[in-house]
Amino acid sequence: MPIHQHFLLHKPYKYLSQFINNQTRRKNKNLLGELHDFPEGIMSIGRLDEDSEGLLLLTTDGLESQRVRSKKVEKEYYVQVDGLMTEAAIEKLKRGLTISIHGKEYKTLPCKASLLKNEPAFKPRTRKIRAAAHGPTSWASITLTEGKFRQVRKMTAVVGYPTLRLVRIRIGEIRLGEMEAGDVMEVSRFKLS
């Protein structure tokens, strides 16, 4: 039986969730392999888009990847949005709403969502979000059991609050904690519940 390796990674802003670049239009992009000397056969479990940050799990075990991606495992995101998000918008997010996935309508599953009273203590991004003169922003927590393409961004846009910054802080019981952008930690297994 092969011995597999598992890692936690704080994916930085402007990195692709992949190890090799096989597309010419994505030349000169930052890849995860630049952050650490990972073993052969490593894969990211799920993805975070290039503009998103936060917790990403990596493994050499395909079965472990399936377990993490199941709808039994919660994924929590802190999202900074344009404007002061209302409780009415939070309620719409919780109930599920219709977004577009690859040109087709998709109804999201009900989820957990709440406004954050205090701004999270994340370090500033390498590129500024935007000037304060453009108006207020607010933060919310959104917890999903699914992970469609750019789902959180599409959900906040549908309720009228475009996403400015998105950070995944938790997968199951695994938390981003004090890890900083680019940090990698090897673990013996993923504790999901």
Greatest Cα pair distance, the chain, in angstroms, is: 58
Helix (H, G, I), strand (E, B) or coil at 160: coil
Place of tokens 């402007």: 14
CB 147 within 8 A of CB 57: no
CA atoms within 13 A on the CB side of 170: 14
For the question of residue 49 being annotated catalytic, the response is yes
3-class secondary-structure state, position 33: helix
Please, are residues 168 and 75 in contact by the beta-carbon 8 Å criterion?
Answer: yes
User: Of 49, 51, 61, 183, which one is the catalytic site residue?
Assistant: 49
Angle, vertex CA 171, rays to CA 17 and CA 106, nearest 5: 75
Cα 166 off chain centre by: 7
Cα-trace Rg, the chain: 17
Assign 133 to helix, strand or coil. helix
Q: Strand 112-115 and strand 104-107: pairing?
A: unpaired
Give the catalytic positions in this structure: 49
